[in-house]
Each structure stands twice: as structure tokens, then as C-alpha cells.
Structure 1
Amino acid sequence: MTMAQAPTSPPKPASPTDRLARLRAELSAETSRAVAVMPLGHPVIDAHLPSGGLSLGPPHEIVPAEPIDAIAALAFALALCARRLAEAQGEAMIASSGHPLPYGHGLASLGLNPGRLLLLEAGGDGEVFRALEAALHANCLSALIGLVGEGMPLKAGRRLQLAAETGEPPLLLVLRQAGPGLPNGAATRWRVAAAPAGSDRFGGLHAPRWRVRLERCRNGRGGSWLVEWDSAANRLHLPERLADDAAAAGRARP
């Protein structure tokens, strides 16, 4: 003869306080996950960017300040690509729609190894975005640059962002022509103008400089800076004289 088991009481429903605490814990765990970013090596600029650098995965838009600044904007994008390749394995792809593609000596002067670049000449902006999306799904490249004319439509930007969530996020840059542009899903928008290059002690050209303005930054702050590119260290920094002035101003503060 077996003894009847006592009926088990149903689990006590969680109180609103317990449910709220569990939800807060889940949200905390979600937000505490490390966000993949690439610091630019310039502490002042990195402080304006969420998590201290350019987020990897979502697209970033780069725009020349004026049509004459198209080469400066391209050089800025290539410098960021060089920084990414300096810290990551693999290659980068540049897909262009009507833009002149860079050549070996120009790439090397920015610290880029031409042997790690794949160049794609596309028939139009639509082909550029399809190539970027396919590369994101393939999950085999560390950096992607799209050179387009009219800008990145909202739908294309959303598709790129979704595709970037499927694997290891690369640095994704979209460079377009000067102008107001279209509303899109870019995480940041940079407007770049040429500046007189730095010179060495012999009077020769030493390092490219740009005036960059962070016009838009999701979860960050905008700003404007004169920056210099160090192709040996693959980082942005303030020109030396300006850095000394900034340090002196900081020491003079009470």
C-alpha cells in the first residue's frame, strides 16, 4: 500500500517588485555586453563617441564639406580603414560607383597595404549597397568602404545594419558626394575639409591634416576638430603646436 503524495501547491506568482527586479537585471546584462568599437586614438574625439570609439557594424557616413574636398574625405575614410586593418586580421573592400579608385602609392602613404584591399567598380549606387550587404553576410572582411554619389537611403542603411548583426562586425564606411544628403540609419556623419598638411623640420610635407566635423552621432556628441594623421602609428592626433596650446590652457585653469 503506497501512501498518497501530498499535492504540490502551484508556484507562487512573482510579485510586481520581483518582476521589475528581474527585468532590470536582464536589461543590465544586455547593456553591459561589450560594444565592439574602434577608438580613433584621439582622446578628445573618442570622448564624444559612445563607448569611446566608432561602433563596428552599423554604417558611418563621411561627406566632403565642399565638392573640392572630395579627396580629403576619401583620405580620411582610408585612414580609418588603415587603423582598422592595423588591429584586425583579413582584408578590406572598397566598392565604388563612379568615384576614382585609390592607387598604390597613395594608399601606402596613409599606412594601407594595397595587398590587403579588394577594389570593386560597381555600375551604380545600388550595386555598391548590394556588394556591401553581401560582404557583411559573408563575414570574411574586416573593413568595408562604399563610395556612392547620392548618399545612403534609409532602407539601404537599415539592410546594412541588419546584415552586420550576423557575424563579426567590420568597420563600415559610406562616402558620398557633398550636399545635405538623405535621412538614413548611419551611426555617425562626418563632414571633412582639407587643411594644410604638416611639415617636417626640413620643410617637406609630413602628415595630412583635415578639419573634421562630427555632425551626427547616435548616443554621442558632435564636435569639430583639426586633426593630423600619423600613418606610422595609425592614429589621429592634434597637430603638435595645437596640442601644446591645449595642454598649456589646461594647466592654466584654476
Structure 2
Amino acid sequence: MAIEQQLFSFMEARSGGAKTDLMAPATARSSKATTEPAALAVGDESTIQQDAIEEDPPRETRPASRQEVLQALRSKVGCVNTARESTLTSFSTGCDAIDAWLPGNGLHPASLTEWIAAHDSAAAESMALVAAAHRITMVPTRPLVIVDCEGSFYPPAAVALGIPAERMILLRPRNSGDAIWSIDQSLRSGAVAAVVARLPMRLDDRDGRRLQLASESGTTPGLLVRNFQARQLPSFAETQFYVAEKRRPVFCAGVGSSKTAPHNRPRMGRVSGSQPSEILSITLDRVRGGVTGKHLHVRFDDHANLHSVPISNPQRHETAAKRLASQLAHPTTAKRVATASPKRAVS
């Protein structure tokens, strides 16, 4: 009987009868739970929008100045341009004047360094091998890997530049893919002192990034020699030098001219020490955390050591030319030259 009364009361509440008061608290709570939060949400949203309109003033449409744009870009890429903080000891390039250009007074051991060759000569390779000779003195138990992509490497010349023959491992890959793989594995192994390679082929961004990560992973410097076309291309090298060769005029015995015949000019092998008459022009094109654009003339001595050479002042030659022109333009001098010419013709 009690169960029937409860069922009757429930049916009346569902049909809207007199017993709806029994279910009123539950329905009231449910209706409040479903309607009030929606009203509050709408009210809160309108309040937030109104507050945002009142608090945020209208933004200026003035474009940012050039200085502001540069300052913003510097702040974003500052972590890339600043010199890295590392406990690793840098090694010398072979020239104290060039080392002074670099943030750590030398080349970082976990980075790539490029020498861009302006001419088809061994000047850039000689610079890379001299740096490698200084590197292997710091790690006497590790060999030096030389990747010869063109098959023209001359080991006795490397020995003359200070690299012992027993410390060299010479690799001659068959194609560019094998060359990149050899350099990558040698850098990543961490078991070699450095990797020297001349890359005649084009190095794309993927391979460049791959070699950079390999150098950082194995804490092994990569000393790369590239052609002139690579100077205008993006690079993942931390330091990049541009190497040009300037020949001094060589005076031949018994010849009164300062010009040397082509067959008497000193020649340089693919990798060999520079002759005393050859001066190398070094320009710093890229450096992380340093100042680019620095320029220096260097030369090798008989012991394969690099020395800076003072750059001649072109104004001195221009002054001498102007003085000679003024003397020739003088009337007395011109008259003397005119009168002396027939005598020479008669004699």
C-alpha cells in the first residue's frame, strides 16, 4: 500500500497535479543549476568586454621606426650572435694577429671553420693545415682526418707545415655523398683531433647543419676549404675567412724587367707552403660574437710560420705619380725633353 501511494504521488507530480510540492525542491534546484550559470556566463562575458574596452586605449597606427625594428631583431637573435660561453680551450689559427680577431683568441674546438679560396691555389688549404697542426698539439693522442675529395692532396707538404705523417688518416671518397658521410662520422666520433676537407661541391643547408651538429656532438673542429662561389651562400660555420693570393714581382738575374716570365713564376702545389714572394690576403667574413670585415696580409717563412705583413699605402704611389706629372708639365722640363729627342734620334 505504501508503494502504491508513492507511485501515485510521483505520477501526480509528473502530470502537474496537487502533489507537485513534493518534487518542487528538486526541480527548483535543477532549474537553477541549468539557468543561472548561463545567465552569469553571459553577464561575465559582457562585463569582461566592457572592462577591456574601458582599460585598453586605442592603439597607435604609427609604423615602427628602423631603429626599433633593428633593436627588436637584435633582442630575438642575440643568443645566436653572442659568443658562446664554454670551458673548452680554443686553438690557434697559426697567426697571433688573426687570433686577436676571434672572441676566444682562437678557433672553438666544437665548431666549423671555413677558408674560402679566391684562387685555384693551395693558399686556403695551407691556412687550414696550419690551424690543424696547432690543434693536434693540444690532443697528442688523436689523429688528424683529411678528406681528399679531389685526389690531389700531397702529404709531404702537410708534413712540412708541421703535421707528422703518423698522425694523418687520409680518406678519398668516391662521390660527394660519401664525402659528407665521412666528415660527419669523423666529427661525431670524438676520437680524432680535427677534420680537414676541401669541398669542391655545393654544400646545401641540410648537409651544413648536419656537419655543424656533428662537430658540436663530438667536440671536434671541422676545418673546411671551399671555392669562391661559397662566399655568397649561407653557411653554418662559426668562423669564415676569405683567402686571396697576392704575388710580389720577382726580379730575375740578368733581366732588367721586374716582370717575370710565366715559366719562371713560382708554382704552388695543391697543398704546400707558400713561397717567400707570395703574400696571402686574409679577410674575416664571418665570426660568432666578433666583428667581421677585418683584413690582414700574411706570409709563410722558411719554417712554415705565419707572419703579418704591413699593407702598403697606395697614397704613396699616387703622390709620386702626381709629382712626376707636375714635373713633366713644367715648361722648362718640356723644352728640355723636346730638344733632347732629336739628338737621341741622330745618334
Point out the more displaced range, 83-92 or 206-215.
206-215
| Cα contact 1:152–1:174 (8 A) shared by 2 | no
**TM-score with structure 2 setting the length:** 0.52
After superposition, give the CA deviation of every residue in 1:38-57 in whole Å (9 maximum; x if it has no partner).
13354432232122211112
Paired with 2:89 and 2:128, the residues of 1 have a C-alpha distance of 19
Which ranges of structure 1 fall in alignment gaps of 5 or more residues? 1-26, 198-204, 244-254
Counterparts of residues 150-229 of structure 1 (less than 5 Å): 150-167=201-218, 169-181=219-231, 182-196=233-247, 209-222=279-292, 223-229=294-300
| Cα contact 1:155–1:184 (8 A) shared by 2 | no
Q: CA deviation at 1:208?
A: 6.7
| Cα contact 2:92–2:135 (8 A) shared by 1 | no
Paired with 2:154 and 2:196, the residues of 1 have a C-alpha distance of 12
Amino acid at match of 2:287: C
Q: Name the CA shift for 1:165/1:179 in 2 (closer, same or farther; >3 Å).
A: closer
Q: CA deviation at 1:209?
A: 4.4
| Cα contact 1:111–1:231 (8 A) shared by 2 | no
Counterpart residue number, 1:6: none
Q: Name the CA shift for 1:117/1:237 in 2 (closer, same or farther; >3 Å).
A: same
Q: Give the secondary structure class of the aligned counterpart of 1:57.
A: coil
Q: CA deviation at 1:118?
A: 0.7
CA root-mean-square deviation: 2.8
Q: CA deviation at 1:161?
A: 1.9
Counterparts of residues 19-58 of structure 1 (less than 5 Å): 32-40=85-93, 42-58=95-111
Question: Which one has the bigger helix percentage?
Answer: 2
- Say if 2:199 is the partner of 1:148: yes
Match of 1:238 among 308, 320, 338: 308
After superposition, give the CA deviation of every residue in 1:151-177 in whole Å (9 maximum; x if it has no partner).
43222221122222334x222111122
| Cα contact 2:276–2:299 (8 A) shared by 1 | no
- Say if 2:177 is the partner of 1:130: no
After superposition, give the CA deviation of every residue in 1:94-138 in whole Å (9 maximum; x if it has no partner).
11222511232x122212212211111112222222111111222
Question: Which one has the bigger strand percentage?
Answer: 1
Q: Give the secondary structure class of the aligned counterpart of 1:161.
A: helix
Q: Give the secondary structure class of the aligned counterpart of 1:192.
A: strand
Which ranges of structure 2 fall in alignment gaps of 5 or more residues? 1-78, 249-274, 312-347
Paired with 2:279 and 2:194, the residues of 1 have a C-alpha distance of 22
After superposition, give the CA deviation of every residue in 1:80-104 in whole Å (9 maximum; x if it has no partner).
1112122322210111222511232
Match of 1:120 among 150, 171, 192: 171
Counterpart residue number, 2:158: 107
Paired with 2:165 and 2:290, the residues of 1 have a C-alpha distance of 33
Paired with 1:230 and 1:147, the residues of 2 have a C-alpha distance of 24
Paired with 1:99 and 1:186, the residues of 2 have a C-alpha distance of 24
Counterpart residue number, 2:148: 96
Q: Which structure's relative contact order is higher, taking Cα pairs within 8 Å and 6+ residues apart? A: 1
Q: Which has the larger radius of gyration?
A: 2
Q: Name the CA shift for 1:33/1:93 in 2 (closer, same or farther; >3 Å).
A: closer
Figure out how many residues of one structure are paired with residues of the other and give that number: 202
- Say if 2:123 is the partner of 1:72: yes
* Aligned residues with identical type, % of pairs: 25
Q: Name the CA shift for 1:230/1:57 in 2 (closer, same or farther; >3 Å).
A: farther
Q: CA deviation at 1:33?
A: 3.8
**TM-score with structure 1 setting the length:** 0.69
